[in-house]
Amino acid sequence: MATLRHNADGDICVTLRGAAENRLLVTLRGWTHWLRYEFERDPQNPALCLSVTLITSPLHEVAVRELFKRGFGMTFPPEGGSCAPPPPVIEPPRRRGALAR
């Protein structure tokens, strides 16, 4: 579950956990307003990343919320908290050899 919270400095933190949220990270990592990233690694296997926290200025809170709402259909509670990502989009199989219109 993605989690939105305010840290002690007032920054907006979005934490993404697990492989199910990799598609969110792939989309969000290029957003230029992230100030920094924090990684939580598996203590047994440091090569394995358990979560990524994306941090931005509180000035961008509305933009972050809209980005998740419009881009992924996810709405965080007003006070912050967790939000489950929607299921992945499954495209119908394409028919091979169908006549072009």
Locate the domains of the chain by residue range: 2-83
pLDDT tens-digit series, residues 65-75? 999 999 888 99
Closest to 74 (Cα-Cα) out of 34, 19, 14: 14
Distance from C-alpha of 60 to C-alpha of 23, rounded to nearest angstrom: 21
On whether the pTM is more than 0.85, the answer is no
pLDDT tens-digit series, residues 18-57? 887 888 888 888 889 999 999 999 999 988 889 999 999 9
